[in-house]
Structures are given as structure tokens and as C-alpha cells.
């Protein structure tokens, strides 16, 4: 095993360093586009992964070695037929706004032209019914042409440019049939006008563009509302910082220029520009971005603050401890992006369906054209029916069915204080039927307090505090705080022995605090729920401590008891676990569990067919978290990247566990609804289009509506009740 790992590491070193690149591809509109990009990039030597996210228009590329560069990736994207730019949150927001404005202008031109052409068309239709003079009809056709041709040339650019790029890359996207439909309808209408014919479709071609642009504009607006949670987070960064110079001067610098050790001023109401420690001032910080807690936290000298949080009351001076790329906010963004760019099971299913679906659509369109010709239809009519099939069967709804729900769900959970780390975490969380909790730091706060100190004299309390204050061990801190009313005596030869306790001398007499073995207590098992003290040759005395149960633990367990079987696993002794679990609704409680025991317990549940959510400390319970079907961890902000869990929840309570389960369950429901709608839409639309009952105009409306319905359905996650 070690040899295999060594060989693998050697091969990776031989392949060269790993590289990553995130791109924005605004021309990616459907699952077919995603497939072309991923397949095209995979053909480059060295590419290890290329993943597209349709809902955020993102492409994540990874490769080994130095043979490829960012420029090579961008050139390959051009060859495939897609214009790509390196990901930048600020440039992305600007590009989205500019793209939306272009669509809005094109839509206005198409709408104005369609309204005026429709007036002429009504006159033509009524004139044909009342034997209008042929010269007048011909004039109306030419007037329609004079309005339609410039309107089509301008309003059709978003589709024409995209189609040309795709064709240059020897590929097809959904803008190709749309462009064909518009150009053929306009060209055939112009040909009929020149030859004095009656089959003129200027109104249809311009109206087709108008409704397609409406759908495209609404689509980009709705996707912006449901955009990446990571993208939203990046917008919360401060842009500039007020750096304090040694001579007392202040200079405005970009946050990218801040370095550890710099001193920055944070005004009241401003965002903290970088992770750091407060060195001057007192205020309150809105840290909901990090902790999920709505109540502000007090900030004083020595308090750690994080980039993106808001200083609410008074100016602060902060010493920077991490650069912009290493900040907690940047760390959360990287984890969120990794989760959003991943491939969950439902996404893989949609991709597989789209791979089969796309060629089937083109075959159906060709069959529709040939079939109608065989039944005696004109080339014009057969071509229109085939184009309607191509447009109405665009797999946009299918491609968006899953990723848009995942993006909305990840964003909502982040606002609730839950960070999604695993790409398929939501999917697995929705499948659970049992929940296993760790005790310390999960069910309890981890804040130890003195419980009993029976028989302890004032002299022994003073000695205990004087010795305990020399250590940073949690139990020592409890003693130092609990006996704070006692003076501190000067002790000699103070030593701390890891895993056992402390020793020192006072007036020639040895003082010891620690576990049972350290103070020579016979017949008593050592545990973590208290500490022993022994003065000289006197009998050892027991000081009991307890951990505080989180205030909402009982309510959370009551809620889970309706649908899930709950378990408590703890490494603490039996009596301490039983006392704390007495008023909590667990189906099973197990104490004195080592890490290996917890893994064995989870494996047993798994062998019985259970799908278990493990909720435990992300650092201490890493093996058990990995062994579970899905895992969540309460973690301090600085530890989020170190945990083995699929989800990290911030704050002091367990409520985010319930919120995450409810969100995941609702997200799965929405995904299934989206799949159902996509299949139902195609089951109805394709036969109607093949049978000739659907015009390209109606197909455009239906296709755009299907994408909007799927996106709007995903947005229902934001309307879910928060109680």
C-alpha cells in the first residue's frame, strides 16, 4: 500500500505541478454546450478535469505539468466556439449587467418592430379577405421588410454571434437553429416579397426574436438572483483598506496589498478588510457571515476579527494576521466553489440523459423534415416544422434541473450558518434515516464548569488555583476561574506532565492536581469529568466538573424524533453521559466510546441498511465523520478547512442541523419536480412539434418558458419557512 502511494506520488511529481483555472463562459446556454466544453477541453493533453456549471456559467479546469498555460485553455475554448474569460467576481458582475443591458436593448428594438409589422400584417390579412388592391398588399409587404430586416440584423446579434462562434469551432449550440429559424423566415419572406408572392413571415421572424429575447433576459436576471453563494460572498469583501503607517499617516490601499503585520483602521459601519486581531478600540462586530448568529459580538483588544464582517459602533485598529488570499472569507469561498463545481449523482444523471438526448433531437428534426417532404409538404413548411422541433426540444430545462437547485440551496444554507463542503452532500443528507451525535462540543457547549468540590478547604482551593493557573489545559482553566476569589501563592518546581497533571511545591510540601493515576488513587478509573487534588500525604480529593448542554439541544432532538432514530456516542464515562442524556430524547446512548468504537458502531448501522448522519467535532471525530453516510461538524471559524465533514455549521446551537436537513429534503423534492417537468414538457412538446402543430414562434416561447419555470421552482427554496 505504501509502495503504491509512493509510486502515485512519484508519477504526480513527474507529471509536474498541478494547475487550476476558473472561467466564465457567457455563451453557455444548455446541457449540449456543457458537454461540448467538457469534451473539448478533455482532449488537451494534461487536462485532468473540466467541469461546467450551467447555472453560474462557470467552467473549472485542472491540469498537470507546465506544458499547458492559461492562454492555451482560452485558445481551446475559442476553437470549440466559446468566448471565455478568467473568473473575477467584480468583472463577472459588470459583464452580467452589460449582457443584460444588451439583451434589453435588442428586446426593445424587436418589440417595437414586431408591433409595427403586426399593424401591416393585420391590414394585409384583412385586405386579402376583402380583395385589397394587389399593389397595396405588395407595398405593405415592402414596408414590413424595411422594418424587419434592420430589426433582425440588430436584435438577432446575441444569437447570430453565438452561432457563428459555435460553427467556427465545428460545433452546434442552441443558437444555431434559432439563428437559422430567424434568417430563413426573413430570407424566404424577402424572396416572396421580391417575386410578388403572398407567403410573407416578417411578423413571425421578428416576433420569434422578441419572445426569445424576453426569455433570455428573464433567464439571466433569475440566474443572477440564484447565483453562486461563493460569488455572493466575494462581493462582501471590502475593496480598499485604510493602512496606518509608522509615522501616523493613513494611506488607502487595495486589500490585495495588505500583508500580515500591517495595521489598518476600520471605521464604524465599515467592513473589516482582512483577518486580524483588534489592537485598539472597543465595538461590536456583525459576524453573522462567519458564525450564522444574528447577535453582534463584542470586539476588544485581543479579539480576532475576520474579513467581510461589519464593525457596527466605534472605530477599531486591527493588526492583519492573514493576507487576502488566506483569509477566512477566501477559504469559505474556495470550499463553496469546490462544492458547487462538483458533480452530484443527480447532476451526473442529467448529464447522461443530455448526452443521449442531444443527438436524438437532431435525428428527430431531420426525420421531421424528410417525413413532411415525403407526405407532400413544401420545402418551406417541412423546414419550419424541423426548426420548431430543434427549438422546442432544447434540453435547457433538463440541464438546469439540478444545478440551479444546488446553487440556491447552498446559498440559503450559507445564510443560515451552514457551509456546504461536499458536492453531493445535499443529496446524501436528504436520504438519511438515522442521526448519530457526539457529545462534547456537539450536544454540549464544550464550556466546562465546576460541579462539586465536596470537602475542599480554603487552603486547598488556594493551592489548586495557584497550580492550575500555570496550565492552559481546559480542566486547569476551570479550576482557575472557579476559585478566582482565592489568592495566588508562589509555588516552586511547577511541572506539567502531559496526559497526567501538574505538580509543584509550597513550603516544602508537594501539591498535585490531575487524574487518578497522577495522585495515586487506587481502584478509581481516570476520566475527563473532573480532576483530583492531593496535598502532601493527605488523602486525594475529587473536584467534579460538568459540560453545559446546548440550549436548543432538547428541542432539536424532539423535532428529529418524529422522523429519525437518534443515537448518542461519547467517550466520556457512563455516569456523566447518563446524567446529561437524561432529559434528551435519544433512542440509544453509548458511553466510553473510543474512535474505533464509533467507527465500528457506524459500520454496524450501515450493514443494517441505515443511512446515517454523523454530527460531531470535525477534528476529534474525523474517522467517524468519514465512516458515516453524510456528516456535519460544529467548528470554530478558523477550523473549517480542517474538518472531515460534508457540512460545517457555525454558531453555538444545534438548530442549523435541522435547517440543513429540511433544506436538503426540500431541495431533493424540487429536483424531482424539475426532472418531472422537463420530461413532461418534452413528452408533450416533441410529438406536437413533429406533427406540425407548433410554429417556430410558439416553440421559442415554450423553450424559454421551460427554463424559467425550472429556475423559478428552484427559487421556492428561499420562500421556505425559517422557523
Could you report the per-residue pLDDT of 418-434, keeping only the tens digit for each?
Answer: 888 776 788 889 999 99
Residue 721 vs residues 575, 668, 716: alpha-carbon distances, Å: 40, 17, 10
pLDDT category, 132, cuts 50, 70, 90?
Answer: low
- Residue 387 CB coordination number (10 Å): 25
Q: Find, among 145, 128, 560, 55, the residue nearest to 344 by Cα.
A: 55
Residue 107 CB-density burial (10 A; 0-12 exposed, 13-18 middle, 19+ buried) = buried
Residue 258 vs residues 54, 242, 311, 431: alpha-carbon distances, Å: 35, 10, 19, 45
| Least confident interval from 190-199, 323-332, 348-357, 596-605 | 348-357
pLDDT of 5 > 50? The answer is: no
60-76 pLDDT, tens digit per residue, is: 888 877 678 888 888 88
Q: Which residues contact 461 (CB under 8 A, 6 or more apart)?
A: 453, 483, 486
- Sequence spans of domains, the chain: 16-87, 93-229+338-389, 237-331, 446-548
Mean pLDDT across 444-451 = 74
pLDDT at residue 14, as a whole number: 45
Mean pLDDT across 143-159 = 90
Q: Strand 85-86 vs strand 58-64: parallel, antiparallel, or unpaired?
A: unpaired
pLDDT category, 10, cuts 50, 70, 90?
Answer: very low
Residue 484 CB-density burial (10 A; 0-12 exposed, 13-18 middle, 19+ buried) = exposed
Residues serving a catalytic function are: 438
515: left (phi over 0), alpha (psi -120 to 50) or beta: beta
Distance CA 630, CA 627 (A): 8
| Least confident interval from 26-30, 447-451, 582-586 | 26-30
pLDDT category, 666, cuts 50, 70, 90?
Answer: very high
Q: Find, among 232, 457, 199, the residue nearest to 329 by Cα.
A: 232
The structure's pTM equals 0.63
pLDDT of 305 > 60? The answer is: yes
Q: For 270, which DSSP code?
A: P
Exposure b/e, 240-260, CB count within 10 A at least 16 = b: ebbbbeeeeeeeeeebeebee
User: For all residues of the chain together, what is the average pLDDT?
Assistant: 78
* Size of the chain, expressed as the number of residues it contains: 723
pLDDT of 9 > 50? The answer is: no
pLDDT of 392 > 50? The answer is: yes
173-226 pLDDT, tens digit per residue, is: 667 767 877 887 788 778 878 877 666 767 777 877 887 787 677 666 655 655
Q: Find, among 528, 580, 549, 575, the residue nearest to 444 by Cα.
A: 549
pLDDT of 275 > 60? The answer is: yes
Bigger pLDDT: 722 or 240? 240
pLDDT category, 613, cuts 50, 70, 90?
Answer: very high
Distance CA 328, CA 324 (A): 9
pLDDT category, 322, cuts 50, 70, 90?
Answer: confident
Residue 125 vs residues 129, 137, 552, 554, 578: alpha-carbon distances, Å: 7, 9, 71, 73, 86
pLDDT at residue 333, as a whole number: 67
- Which of the listed ranges 203-207, 331-335, 512-516 does the model predict with the highest average pLDDT? 512-516
558-605 pLDDT, tens digit per residue, is: 999 889 999 988 877 677 778 777 778 888 888 877 777 888 888 899
| DSSP line for 92-134 | HHHHHHHHHHHHHHHHHHHHHHHHHHHHHHHHHHHHHHTT--H
pLDDT of 285 > 50? The answer is: yes
What CATH number should be reported for the domain whose range is 237-331?
2.70.150.10
Question: The cell 478568467 sits on which residue?
Answer: 86
Q: For 540, which DSSP code?
A: P
Fold of 446-548: Calcium-transporting ATPase, cytoplasmic domain N (3.40.1110)
pLDDT of 231 > 80? The answer is: no
Mean pLDDT across 341-358 = 58
460-502 pLDDT, tens digit per residue, is: 888 888 888 888 777 788 888 888 888 888 888 888 876 678 8
pLDDT at residue 612, as a whole number: 92
pLDDT of 662 > 70? The answer is: yes
Mean pLDDT across 286-297 = 62
Backbone Cα Rg of the chain: 34
Mean pLDDT across 47-56 = 75
pLDDT of 525 > 90? The answer is: no
pLDDT at residue 109, as a whole number: 93
What CATH number should be reported for the domain whose range is 16-87?
3.30.70.100
Amino acid at each position: 500500500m505504501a509502495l503504491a502511494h509512493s509510486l502515485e506520488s512519484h508519477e504526480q511529481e513527474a507529471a509536474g505541478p498541478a494547475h487550476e483555472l476558473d472561467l466564465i463562459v457567457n455563451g453557455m446556454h444548455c446541457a449540449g454546450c456543457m458537454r461540448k466544453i467538457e469534451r473539448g477541453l478533455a482532449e488537451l493533453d494534461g487536462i485532468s478535469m473540466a467541469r461546467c456549471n450551467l447555472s453560474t456559467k462557470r467552467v473549472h479546469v485542472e491540469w498537470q505539468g507546465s506544458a499547458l498555460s492559461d492562454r492555451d485553455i482560452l485558445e481551446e475554448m475559442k476553437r470549440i466556439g466559446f468566448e471565455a474569460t478568467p473568473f473575477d467576481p467584480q468583472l463577472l458582475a459588470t459583464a452580467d449587467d452589460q449582457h443584460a443591458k444588451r439583451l434589453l436593448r435588442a428586446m426593445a428594438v424587436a418589440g417595437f418592430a414586431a408591433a409595427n409589422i403586426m399593424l401591416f400584417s393585420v391590414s394585409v390579412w384583412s385586405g386579402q379577405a376583402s380583395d385589397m388592391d394587389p399593389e397595396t398588399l405588395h407595398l405593405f409587404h415592402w414596408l414590413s421588410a424595411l422594418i424587419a430586416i434592420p430589426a433582425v440584423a440588430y436584435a438577432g446579434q446575441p444569437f447570430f454571434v453565438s452561432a457563428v462562434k459555435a460553427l467556427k469551432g465545428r460545433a452546434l449550440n442552441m443558437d444555431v437553429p434559432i439563428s437559422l429559424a430567424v434568417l430563413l423566415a426573413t430570407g424566404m419572406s424577402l424572396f416572396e416579397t421580391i417575386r410578388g408572392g403572398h407567403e410573407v413571415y416578417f411578423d413571425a421572424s421578428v416576433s420569434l426574436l422578441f419572445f426569445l429575447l424576453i426569455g433570455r433576459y428573464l433567464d439571466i436576471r433569475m440566474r443572477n438572483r440564484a447565483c453562486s453563494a461563493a460569488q455572493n460572498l466575494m462581493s462582501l469583501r471590502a475593496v480598499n483598506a485604510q493602512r496606518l503607517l509608522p509615522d501616523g499617516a493613513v494611506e488607502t490601499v487595495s486589500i490585495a496589498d495588505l500583508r500580515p503585520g500591517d495595521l489598518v483602521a476600520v471605521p464604524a459601519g465599515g467592513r473589516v478588510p482582512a483577518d486580524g486581531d483588534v489592537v485598539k478600540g472597543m465595538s461590536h462586530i456583525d459576524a453573522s457571515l462567519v458564525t450564522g448568529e444574528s447577535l453582534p459580538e463584542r470586539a476588544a483588544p485581543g479579539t480576532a476579527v475576520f474579513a467581510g464582517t461589519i464593525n457596527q459602533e466605534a472605530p477599531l485598529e486591527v493588526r492583519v494576521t492573514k493576507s487576502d488570499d488566506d483569509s477566512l472569507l477566501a477559504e469559505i469561498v474556495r470550499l463553496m466553489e469546490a462544492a458547487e463545481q462538483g458533480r452530484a449523482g443527480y447532476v451526473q444523471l442529467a448529464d447522461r440523459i443530455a448526452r443521449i438526448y442531444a443527438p436524438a433531437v437532431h435525428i428527430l428534426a431531420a426525420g421531421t423534415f424528410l417525413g413532411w417532404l415525403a407526405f407532400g409538404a413544401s420545402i418551406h413548411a417541412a423546414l419550419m416544422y424541423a426548426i420548431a422541433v430543434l427549438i422546442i426540444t432544447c434540453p435547457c430545462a433538463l440541464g438546469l434541473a439540478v444545478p440551479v437547485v444546488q446553487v440556491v440551496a447552498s446559498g440559503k444554507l450559507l445564510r443560515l450558518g451552514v457551509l456546504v463542503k461536499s458536492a453531493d452532500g445535499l443529496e446524501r443528507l436528504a436520504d438519511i434515516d438515522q442521526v448519530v451525535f457526539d457529545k462534547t462540543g456537539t450536544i454540549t457547549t464544550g464550556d466546562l464548569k465546576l460541579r462539586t468540590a465536596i470537602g475542599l478547604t480554603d487552603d486547598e482551593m488556594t493551592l489548586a488555583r495557584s497550580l492550575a493557573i500555570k496550565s492552559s489545559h481546559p480542566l486547569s482553566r476551570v479550576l482557575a476561574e472557579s476559585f478566582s476569589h482565592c489568592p495566588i501563592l508562589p509555588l516552586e518546581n511547577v511541572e506539567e506532565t502531559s496526559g497526567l497533571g501538574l505538580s509543584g511545591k509550597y513550603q516544602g510540601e508537594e501539591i498535585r492536581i490531575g487524574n487518578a493515576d497522577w495522585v495515586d488513587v487506587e481502584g478509581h478509573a481516570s476520566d475527563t469529568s473532573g480532576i483530583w487534588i492531593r496535598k502532601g500525604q493527605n488523602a486525594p480529593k475529587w473536584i467534579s466538573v460538568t459540560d453545559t448542554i446546548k440550549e436548543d439541544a432538547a428541542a432539536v432532538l424532539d423535532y428529529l424524533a418524529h422522523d429519525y432514530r437518534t443515537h448518542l456516542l461519547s467517550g466520556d464515562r457512563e455516569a456523566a453521559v447518563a446524567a446529561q442524556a437524561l432529559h434528551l430524547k435519544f433512542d440509544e446512548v453509548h458511553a466510553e466510546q473510543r474512535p474505533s468504537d464509533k467507527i465500528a458502531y457506524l459500520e454496524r448501522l450501515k450493514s443494517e441498511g441505515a443511512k446515517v448522519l454523523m454530527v460531531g467535532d470535525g477534528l476529534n471525530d474525523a474517522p467517524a465523520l468519514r465512516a458515516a453516510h453524510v456528516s456535519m461538524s460544529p467548528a470554530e471559524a478558523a477550523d473549517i478547512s480542517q474538518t472531515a465533514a460534508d457540512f460545517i455549521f457555525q454558531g453555538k446551537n444545534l438548530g442549523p442541523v435541522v435547517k440543513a436537513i429540511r433544506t436538503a429534503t426540500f431541495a431533493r423534492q424540487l429536483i424531482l419536480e424539475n426532472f418531472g417537468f422537463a420530461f413532461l414538457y418534452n413528452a408533450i412538446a416533441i410529438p406536437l412539434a413533429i406533427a406540425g402543430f407548433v410554429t417556430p414562434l410558439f416553440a421559442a416561447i415554450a423553450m424559454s418558458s421551460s427554463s424559467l419555470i425550472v429556475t423559478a421552482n428552484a427559487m421556492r427554496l428561499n420562500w421556505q419557512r425559517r422557523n
